[in-house]
Structure 1
Amino acid sequence: MKQKTLYRCSNCGFESIKWLGKCPTCNSWNTLDEIIIDMKTSISKVSQSSKKPIKKLFEVISNKSDRIITGINEFDRVMGGGIVKDSISIITARPGAGKSTLLLQISDAVAKKGCKVIYASGEESDSQIKNRADRILETINKDIWVLQETSLDNVLYSVEEVDPDLLIIDSIQTFTIEKALPARAGSPTQTMECANALLKIAKNENKPRAVIIVGQMTKNDELAGLRALEHLVDTVLIIEDDNDEELRVLVSSKNRFGGIENGFFQMCENGMISIDNPSEFFMTKREDDEIVSGSALTVIKEGTRAIITEIESLVSKSFTPYPTRIGETLGKDKLNTLISILEQRGGINLYDKNVIIKTTGGIKIREQGINLAVIMSIVSSVKQRGIESTIAFIADVGLTGELKKVPSLESRVKELARMGFKRVYVPKDSFMRGYNKSDGIEIIELKTLNQVIQHVYN
């Protein structure tokens, strides 16, 4: 039998016909492993019995509604309306962010729908999974199977035995498959071979199954392994977290079955709780006559959803030559830019003032549409005069002090109307085709930052 020897880098997958001490692609030392390839098998033709018939596109039956609705609203939203039954997804996050907790809650929700679930873990024992289940689940469903295993071959045997609707692999970097030996667990060879085997399980025409893989995260907050792993799966999910906060944001960076959406969860003792009304969560509930200085409200866009967000600021006297500028959920450079605009175009001096900015709930700000609200919260703190809680600001502010338009203004205003707001400040000549005056919210269109300050404070 004719064989060929190759040397493959366990870090990046680079292949060479001779051994090298240093990989020329990723510059790692001593990572090239010897691999024996059976040339007869590699060049053999596909037998006629295993060949799949070709189909015309218009004859293919699409199963758009063939989903498992978990009932965890924020998760279902991110997935595009539930878990597609013949899909393969991967989820990653930093250690302790709540991957295993969320997947155990998903397993329980899916089992309650009458579906069978296998939870295979290469990192935790059966008893550890059971202890977590006792803590976060009211009851443990009889249709959930657990398997502590690092051999994917044994997991595939269990799939044939149990015939599950959902298979969870936690995490793929801990599993090995026999055909990829002697490559170690977590190497690009093992990871991709395991992922391809799971892909065949998910896309089986006779018995389609949903597969969710946990992928480890690198120290650079990226999914570990080759980029080919992200291309192979249907959905890539990332849990963003701040170690000091309870907020968890489930982000879909790729979704073949829906748009790019964000889901919000609150981590607590009983697991990850879906935040079904983020607008209520990310602002402080106050009475109409309760006015607090240093607070301004705006609306951000997360995916296709408009969310009301509260910007809080604190301005205090500085006794040092260099005042403090802190933006907990806002970049420092952006904060300094907005302060310079306020000083130059708004006529408010902050050269001897400390300025601290944060958002209620700890949501991170990634867009320009909140700039007017940030500036107005600082103005409110400087003047020690609050802004009514039924007023919002939606606009970018240019270096000239002029208000700039923001995208999706109509949907943002509609969200304010839904939450009972009375007034919103927007850039002049904003195109509001989707706005209905019967919504009961007053839209004030102004051109400059100075005009907004004068209008709010008479």
Structure 2
Amino acid sequence: MKNKTIYICSNCGYESPKWQGRCMNCNEWNTFEEEVQIKGAGAKNFDRARKDAIQLNYVKSSNSERIRTGIKEFDRVMGGGIVRDSLTIITAKPGAGKSTLLLQVAQDLCLRGHKVIYASGEESESQIKNRSDRLFDKVSDNLWVFCDNSLNSVIYHTNQINPDLIILDSIQTFQVDEIRDSKAGSPTQTMECANELLKLAKNPDRPRAVIIVGQMTKKDEMAGLRALEHLVDTVLFIEGESDEELRGLSVTKNRFGSTWERGFFTMTEEGMVSIDNPSQFFMTQREGEKTVSGSAITVIRDGSRPIIVEIESLVSTSFLPYPSRISECIRKDQLNTLVSILEQRGGIKLFDRDIVLKATGGLKLKEQSVNLAIIMSIVSSVQNRPISNGIAFLADVGLTGELKKVPSLELRIKELDRMGFKQVFIAKGALPKNAKFEDVKVIEKTMLSEVIGNI
């Protein structure tokens, strides 16, 4: 029986009998890849032994066993460690540190008595060895490497070595030997490899954790079909540019934990170093009672935890018809809005001033809870009047100049209390009456002008 050639969009999975420059379904250009369908190949799948259906009432529930790596930020993002029978995919821009982080995870697990196979279809054994020599004083004997693009060989070595964790870097470079008409990286090969790895991970007789690396497109999205993300248990992204020190590890899907978590790392010569106390990292540590103008403190909620953040601003005289508004941490439109509020409701004229804004550590701020702190940092800079140490600001600011409450306020103030802050300005009536703190004093205000007058 003659085989049939079809074309599949690598972006959305749309099938076409002939090649097209533009996908009719998702409107993306140059995404069609040739696939050969083997006639009658799928019919034999129905001859498999069928699995019986079970009434849900009689299914035993179980808590998934987790493997801790010792890298605190990684374990926290994963929900407490790697689930033993899970399939995880991690993606990032080239040079963000995917391979480095996974090699560190492998080494840490091996030092704890687990066996790990690190399979790479992109690098040679010597390249991986060079990286390990840079990261570790001595590589564990429990760490095995395999450099080839055959998934069948990975499965063979898995049966021989019996590892607890399998790392595949990257799935777009591997292929299943039985499908000879599709090249590595094609939608068919990628999904077939993912399904084989899923079977390997979910084997009830010998469950294993599997982590696969997924390549990223020019649009900063995971390459391949969306079905790949639906198939896996956990999806991780590493944020950060290759020339920056700060890295963020965020989770967008996690069947075993929260889907709203992010861990922070610094990229060093020794690899990815976990930032275990972000509140301390994103503040400038100044000696004694030293203060500087243009600095204000607030608290964001990143995932399930609060993080103290320092916002810095620089206000200077402009010699141009249109003053500059530059921000590294918020959108320019948001900065312009806050400047307008400050001019109209705070009585501070900035029409002839350049304003530059950033957050310590290069953190991007997306919450409205930082607005009062941003305004107060600008006030401090334009008046050259430092804000006393131990003071923080936690409120949104409306166009009317009124302070607005922010979510999870009590949790944020507790973090300020933990870090030794003495005062925090919030919107009046935003805090529950039964809320209690050890040292920090909560000051409630209604209007922005009242806060400016108290600093």
TM superposition score category, shorter chain reference? over 0.9
Contact 2:33 2:186 survives alignment (8 Å): no
Aligned pairs for 1:233-382 (under 5 A) are 233-259=232-258, 260-382=260-382
Shift of 1:174: 0.8
Q: Does 1:155 align with 2:154?
A: yes
Indicate conservation of the 8 Å contact 1:298/1:373, yes or no.
yes
Q: Offset at 1:56?
A: 3.2
Q: Distance in 2 between matches of 1:30 and 1:327?
A: 36
| Correspondence for 1:38 | 39
SS in 2 for 1:361: coil
Whether the 8 Å CA contact 2:239–2:248 is kept in 1: the answer is yes
Distance in 2 between residues matched to 1:62 and 1:77, nearest whole Å: 23
What amino acid maps onto 1:379 in structure 2?
A: V
2:37 partner amino acid: I
Whether the aligned pair in 2 keeps the contact of 1:327 and 1:358 (CA below 8 Å) is: yes
Separation in 2, partners of 1:76, 1:350:
46
Query: What TM-score, normalized to structure 2?
Result: 0.95
Cα displacement (A) at 1:441 = 1.0
Structure 1 residue aligned with 2:101: 102
Shift in Å at residue 24 of structure 1?
A: 3.5
- What letter corresponds to residue 317 of structure 2 in structure 1? K
Which consecutive unaligned segments of at least 5 residues does structure 2 have?
none
Instruction: Say if 1:286 and 1:389, in contact at 8 Å, map to a contact too.
Output: no
Confirm or deny that 1:395 pairs with 2:408: no
Residue aligning to 1:144: 143
Whole-Å separation in 2 of the counterparts to 1:27 and 1:385: 53
Q: Which residue of 2 aligns with 1:125?
A: 124
Please give the secondary structure, in 1, of the residue aligned with 2:435. coil
- Decide whether the 8 Å contact of 2:369 with 2:395 is kept in 1: yes
Secondary structure at 1:153's aligned position in 2? helix
Shift in alpha-carbon separation, 1:21–1:262, aligned structure 2, 3 A: closer
Deviation for aligned residue 1:36: 3.2
State the shift of 1:432 in Å. 2.6
Give 1:37 shift.
2.3
- Further displaced range: 150-159 or 57-66: 57-66
Structure 2 residue aligned with 1:206 = 205
- Deviations along 1:379-413, whole A, 9 cap, x unmatched? 00011110112000001111111111110001000
1:5 deviation in Å?
1.7
Counterpart of 2:413 in structure 1 is 413
Equivalent in the alignment of 1:424: 424
Secondary structure (helix, strand or coil) at the match of 2:453 reads helix
Partner in structure 1 of residue 229 of structure 2: 230
Residue 81 in structure 1 maps to residue 80 in structure 2: yes
CA distances 1:226-252 after superposition (whole Å, capped 9, x unpaired): 111110001000000034420000000
Flag structure 1 segments of 5+ consecutive residues without an equivalent. Answer: none
Change (3 A) 1:95 1:27: closer
Deviations 1:90-122 (A, max 9, x none): 000001100000000000111122111000001
Query: Counterpart in 2 of 1:111?
Result: 110
The answer as to whether partners of 1:215 and 1:223 remain within 8 angstroms in 2 is yes
Residues 319-365 of structure 1 deviation map (CA, whole Å, 9 limit, x = unaligned): 11111111012211111111111111111111111100111111110
* SS in structure 1 at match of 2:196: helix
SS in 2 for 1:179: coil
Contact 1:10 1:187 in 2 (8 A): no
What TM-score does the superposition give when structure 1 sets the normalisation length? 0.95
- In the alignment, the residues of structure 2 paired with residue 94 and residue 30 of structure 1 have an alpha-carbon distance, to the nearest angstrom, of 20
Distance 1:331-1:30 versus aligned 2 partners, 3 A rule: closer
What percent identity do the matched residue pairs reach?
57
Determine the C-alpha separation between the residues in 1 that align with 2:434 and 2:226: 41
Instruction: State the superposition RMSD in angstroms.
Output: 1.7
Q: Quote the residue 2:442 is aligned against.
A: 443
The equivalent of 2:134 in structure 1 is 135
How far the C-alpha of 1:294 sits from its partner, in A, is 0.4
